[in-house]
Amino acid sequence: MEREQKEEIYRQVTDAIRATLEGETDLIASMATIACLLHHSLDHFFWTGFYRVVAPGELLIGSYQGTLGCLHISFDRGVCGAAARSEETIVVPNVHQFPGHIACDSNSKSEIVVPVFDDRDELIAVLDVDSAEYDAFDEVDKRHLEEIVTFLRNKTTLSP
Ligand code: SME
pLDDT at 159 over 90: no
3-state secondary structure of 105: coil
pLDDT at 160 over 80: no
Q: What is the pLDDT of residue 158?
A: 63
The model's pTM: 0.96
What is the distance in A from the centroid of ligand 1 to the CA of 69? 8
What is the distance in A from the centroid of ligand 1 to the CA of 159? 23
Q: Which CATH number fits domain 3-152: 3.30.930.10, 3.30.450.40, 3.40.190.10, 3.10.180.10?
A: 3.30.450.40
Closest CA to ligand 1's atom 6: 104
Could you state, in order of their start, the residue ranges of all structural domains in the chain?
3-152
Q: What is the DSSP letter of 134?
A: T
Ligand 1 binding site (Cβ under 6 Å of any ligand atom): 47, 69-70, 73, 78-80, 101-102, 104, 108, 111, 128, 130
3-state secondary structure of 8: helix
Contact between 133 and 95 (Cβ < 8 Å): no
| Ranges assigned E (strand) in the chain | 47-55, 58-65, 72-74, 90-92, 110-117, 123-131
The 10s digit of each residue's pLDDT in 91-125 is 999 999 998 899 888 999 999 999 999 999 999 99
Look over the chain and give the mean of its residue pLDDT values, rounded to a whole number: 95
